Structure 1
Amino acid sequence: MGFLPFPQLSPVHASKEPEKSIQEIAQGLIGSIMSVKVILADEDNKKLIFSEKEAAWSKYSKQVNVGDIFEVRVGYVEDYGAFVHLRFPDGLYHLTGLIHVSEVSWDLIQMSEIS
Protein backbone atom coordinates (compact mmCIF):
# COMPACT_ATOMS: atom_id res chain seq x y z
CA MET A 1 0.00 0.00 0.00
CA GLY A 2 1.32 3.44 -0.85
CA PHE A 3 0.43 7.10 -1.18
CA LEU A 4 -0.73 8.94 -4.31
CA PRO A 5 -0.52 12.69 -3.64
CA PHE A 6 -3.22 14.75 -5.35
CA PRO A 7 -0.64 16.78 -7.37
CA GLN A 8 0.54 13.45 -8.81
CA LEU A 9 -2.88 12.60 -10.27
CA SER A 10 -3.28 12.83 -14.02
CA PRO A 11 -5.01 16.01 -15.22
CA VAL A 12 -7.69 13.83 -16.79
CA HIS A 13 -9.62 13.71 -13.49
CA ALA A 14 -9.89 17.46 -12.88
CA SER A 15 -10.47 18.14 -16.58
CA LYS A 16 -13.50 15.86 -16.73
CA GLU A 17 -15.31 17.78 -14.00
CA PRO A 18 -13.54 21.12 -13.35
CA GLU A 19 -16.30 22.32 -11.04
CA LYS A 20 -15.55 19.59 -8.48
CA SER A 21 -13.31 20.17 -5.46
CA ILE A 22 -10.16 18.16 -4.81
CA GLN A 23 -11.98 16.20 -2.13
CA GLU A 24 -14.87 15.35 -4.45
CA ILE A 25 -12.49 14.19 -7.19
CA ALA A 26 -10.56 12.05 -4.68
CA GLN A 27 -13.79 10.51 -3.29
CA GLY A 28 -14.83 9.60 -6.82
CA LEU A 29 -11.60 7.67 -7.34
CA ILE A 30 -12.14 5.23 -4.48
CA GLY A 31 -12.15 1.71 -5.87
CA SER A 32 -10.98 2.77 -9.33
CA ILE A 33 -8.14 1.10 -11.20
CA MET A 34 -5.41 3.33 -12.65
CA SER A 35 -1.85 3.14 -13.94
CA VAL A 36 0.76 4.66 -11.63
CA LYS A 37 4.54 4.88 -11.53
CA VAL A 38 6.50 4.35 -8.31
CA ILE A 39 8.37 7.59 -7.63
CA LEU A 40 9.64 6.75 -4.13
CA ALA A 41 10.29 3.36 -2.54
CA ASP A 42 11.89 3.76 0.88
CA GLU A 43 11.91 0.37 2.56
CA ASP A 44 13.63 1.64 5.73
CA ASN A 45 10.85 4.14 6.43
CA LYS A 46 8.15 1.99 4.79
CA LYS A 47 7.21 4.73 2.32
CA LEU A 48 5.83 4.04 -1.12
CA ILE A 49 4.73 7.00 -3.24
CA PHE A 50 3.09 6.81 -6.65
CA SER A 51 2.48 9.19 -9.54
CA GLU A 52 -0.29 8.77 -12.07
CA LYS A 53 1.04 11.88 -13.81
CA GLU A 54 4.47 10.23 -14.33
CA ALA A 55 2.83 7.06 -15.66
CA ALA A 56 0.83 9.19 -18.13
CA TRP A 57 4.00 11.04 -19.14
CA SER A 58 5.74 7.72 -19.87
CA LYS A 59 2.79 6.59 -21.99
CA TYR A 60 1.75 9.79 -23.83
CA SER A 61 4.91 11.93 -24.14
CA LYS A 62 5.95 9.93 -27.21
CA GLN A 63 2.85 11.32 -28.96
CA VAL A 64 3.94 14.95 -28.47
CA ASN A 65 6.32 16.55 -30.97
CA VAL A 66 7.65 20.08 -31.43
CA GLY A 67 5.23 21.91 -33.70
CA ASP A 68 2.17 19.84 -32.78
CA ILE A 69 -1.02 21.75 -32.11
CA PHE A 70 -3.28 20.67 -29.25
CA GLU A 71 -6.55 21.89 -27.86
CA VAL A 72 -5.94 22.64 -24.18
CA ARG A 73 -7.85 23.41 -21.04
CA VAL A 74 -6.29 25.95 -18.68
CA GLY A 75 -5.71 24.32 -15.32
CA TYR A 76 -4.36 27.27 -13.37
CA VAL A 77 -2.46 30.50 -13.88
CA GLU A 78 0.64 31.79 -12.10
CA ASP A 79 2.61 35.03 -12.54
CA TYR A 80 5.07 33.24 -14.83
CA GLY A 81 2.53 31.49 -17.06
CA ALA A 82 -0.43 29.14 -17.39
CA PHE A 83 -0.51 25.41 -16.79
CA VAL A 84 -2.64 23.75 -19.44
CA HIS A 85 -3.93 20.22 -19.95
CA LEU A 86 -3.38 18.83 -23.46
CA ARG A 87 -6.39 17.19 -25.09
CA PHE A 88 -5.48 14.04 -27.00
CA PRO A 89 -7.38 12.47 -29.92
CA ASP A 90 -9.24 10.21 -27.47
CA GLY A 91 -10.82 13.38 -26.04
CA LEU A 92 -9.05 13.11 -22.68
CA TYR A 93 -6.47 15.40 -21.09
CA HIS A 94 -3.48 13.17 -20.32
CA LEU A 95 -0.57 15.62 -19.93
CA THR A 96 -0.04 19.05 -18.42
CA GLY A 97 2.29 21.67 -19.85
CA LEU A 98 3.34 25.23 -19.10
CA ILE A 99 2.72 28.15 -21.42
CA HIS A 100 5.33 30.66 -20.26
CA VAL A 101 4.13 34.24 -19.89
CA SER A 102 6.59 35.28 -22.62
CA GLU A 103 4.67 33.01 -25.05
CA VAL A 104 1.26 34.53 -24.28
CA SER A 105 -0.09 37.34 -26.43
CA TRP A 106 0.21 40.74 -24.74
CA ASP A 107 -3.38 41.41 -25.83
CA LEU A 108 -4.55 38.42 -23.82
CA ILE A 109 -2.54 39.49 -20.78
CA GLN A 110 -3.96 43.02 -20.92
CA MET A 111 -7.49 41.64 -21.26
CA SER A 112 -7.04 39.36 -18.26
CA GLU A 113 -5.66 42.27 -16.18
CA ILE A 114 -8.71 44.36 -17.03
CA SER A 115 -11.24 41.72 -16.03
Structure 2
Amino acid sequence: MFVAVFLWLVTIALFVLYLFQLHMKLYMVPWPLVLMAFNMGAAVLYVTAFITCSASVEQTSLKGTRQYNQRAAASFFSCLVMIAYGLSAFFSFQAWRGVGSNAATSQMAGGYA
Protein backbone atom coordinates (compact mmCIF):
# COMPACT_ATOMS: atom_id res chain seq x y z
CA MET A 1 0.00 0.00 0.00
CA PHE A 2 2.90 2.34 0.78
CA VAL A 3 4.41 1.80 -2.67
CA ALA A 4 1.13 2.50 -4.46
CA VAL A 5 0.21 5.65 -2.53
CA PHE A 6 3.72 7.14 -2.40
CA LEU A 7 4.43 6.63 -6.09
CA TRP A 8 0.96 7.88 -7.03
CA LEU A 9 1.61 11.13 -5.16
CA VAL A 10 5.05 11.60 -6.70
CA THR A 11 3.68 10.82 -10.17
CA ILE A 12 0.90 13.40 -9.72
CA ALA A 13 3.49 15.97 -8.58
CA LEU A 14 5.65 15.31 -11.66
CA PHE A 15 2.58 15.44 -13.89
CA VAL A 16 1.60 18.85 -12.52
CA LEU A 17 5.20 20.02 -12.90
CA TYR A 18 5.18 19.08 -16.58
CA LEU A 19 1.58 20.20 -17.18
CA PHE A 20 2.30 23.77 -16.12
CA GLN A 21 5.81 23.61 -17.66
CA LEU A 22 7.47 24.42 -14.37
CA HIS A 23 10.36 22.14 -15.30
CA MET A 24 11.44 24.77 -17.87
CA LYS A 25 12.04 27.26 -15.05
CA LEU A 26 14.25 24.75 -13.24
CA TYR A 27 16.66 24.36 -16.17
CA MET A 28 19.61 23.38 -13.98
CA VAL A 29 17.92 20.06 -13.09
CA PRO A 30 18.63 17.25 -15.61
CA TRP A 31 14.96 16.29 -16.04
CA PRO A 32 15.44 13.31 -18.40
CA LEU A 33 17.84 11.79 -15.86
CA VAL A 34 15.48 12.54 -12.95
CA LEU A 35 12.54 10.95 -14.76
CA MET A 36 14.60 7.92 -15.73
CA ALA A 37 15.75 7.40 -12.13
CA PHE A 38 12.21 7.86 -10.80
CA ASN A 39 10.71 5.42 -13.30
CA MET A 40 13.40 2.81 -12.68
CA GLY A 41 12.98 3.14 -8.93
CA ALA A 42 9.20 2.89 -9.26
CA ALA A 43 9.52 -0.22 -11.43
CA VAL A 44 11.81 -1.86 -8.86
CA LEU A 45 9.46 -0.98 -6.01
CA TYR A 46 6.50 -2.37 -7.94
CA VAL A 47 8.45 -5.59 -8.62
CA THR A 48 8.73 -6.06 -4.87
CA ALA A 49 5.04 -5.17 -4.43
CA PHE A 50 4.08 -7.67 -7.13
CA ILE A 51 6.14 -10.44 -5.54
CA THR A 52 4.72 -9.64 -2.10
CA CYS A 53 1.13 -9.59 -3.34
CA SER A 54 1.61 -12.80 -5.31
CA ALA A 55 3.16 -14.59 -2.34
CA SER A 56 0.34 -13.48 -0.05
CA VAL A 57 -2.34 -15.24 -2.11
CA GLU A 58 -2.99 -18.37 -0.09
CA GLN A 59 -3.11 -21.57 -2.08
CA THR A 60 -5.51 -23.17 0.38
CA SER A 61 -8.11 -20.39 0.22
CA LEU A 62 -11.12 -20.90 -1.97
CA LYS A 63 -11.22 -19.17 -5.31
CA GLY A 64 -14.03 -16.68 -5.37
CA THR A 65 -13.79 -15.72 -1.71
CA ARG A 66 -13.32 -12.05 -0.90
CA GLN A 67 -9.81 -12.38 0.56
CA TYR A 68 -8.58 -14.44 -2.40
CA ASN A 69 -10.09 -12.00 -4.90
CA GLN A 70 -8.58 -8.94 -3.23
CA ARG A 71 -5.08 -10.38 -3.09
CA ALA A 72 -5.24 -11.75 -6.62
CA ALA A 73 -6.48 -8.41 -7.95
CA ALA A 74 -3.74 -6.54 -6.08
CA SER A 75 -1.16 -8.88 -7.60
CA PHE A 76 -2.55 -8.48 -11.11
CA PHE A 77 -2.75 -4.69 -11.01
CA SER A 78 0.67 -4.31 -9.41
CA CYS A 79 2.03 -6.36 -12.31
CA LEU A 80 0.33 -4.03 -14.82
CA VAL A 81 1.68 -0.92 -13.10
CA MET A 82 5.13 -2.50 -12.90
CA ILE A 83 5.07 -3.03 -16.68
CA ALA A 84 3.88 0.55 -17.24
CA TYR A 85 6.66 2.03 -15.11
CA GLY A 86 9.17 -0.29 -16.78
CA LEU A 87 8.14 0.93 -20.23
CA SER A 88 8.25 4.50 -19.02
CA ALA A 89 11.75 3.88 -17.67
CA PHE A 90 12.80 2.51 -21.07
CA PHE A 91 11.45 5.55 -22.90
CA SER A 92 12.97 7.88 -20.30
CA PHE A 93 16.31 6.15 -20.85
CA GLN A 94 16.04 6.73 -24.57
CA ALA A 95 15.18 10.40 -24.01
CA TRP A 96 18.11 10.75 -21.61
CA ARG A 97 20.49 9.03 -24.01
CA GLY A 98 19.27 11.15 -26.90
CA VAL A 99 18.13 8.43 -29.29
CA GLY A 100 16.76 9.84 -32.52
CA SER A 101 19.37 12.46 -33.30
CA ASN A 102 22.16 12.06 -35.81
CA ALA A 103 24.95 14.20 -37.23
CA ALA A 104 22.69 15.96 -39.72
CA THR A 105 20.10 17.01 -37.15
CA SER A 106 22.73 18.08 -34.64
CA GLN A 107 24.41 20.30 -37.28
CA MET A 108 21.08 21.84 -38.19
CA ALA A 109 20.44 22.59 -34.57
CA GLY A 110 23.90 24.12 -34.30
CA GLY A 111 23.03 27.05 -36.54
CA TYR A 112 24.12 25.81 -39.97
CA ALA A 113 20.66 26.27 -41.49
Higher RCO (CA-CA < 8 Å; seq separation 6+):
2
Structure showing the higher helix proportion among its residues: 2
Question: What TM-score does the superposition give when structure 1 sets the normalisation length?
Answer: 0.25
Question: What TM-score does the superposition give when structure 2 sets the normalisation length?
Answer: 0.25
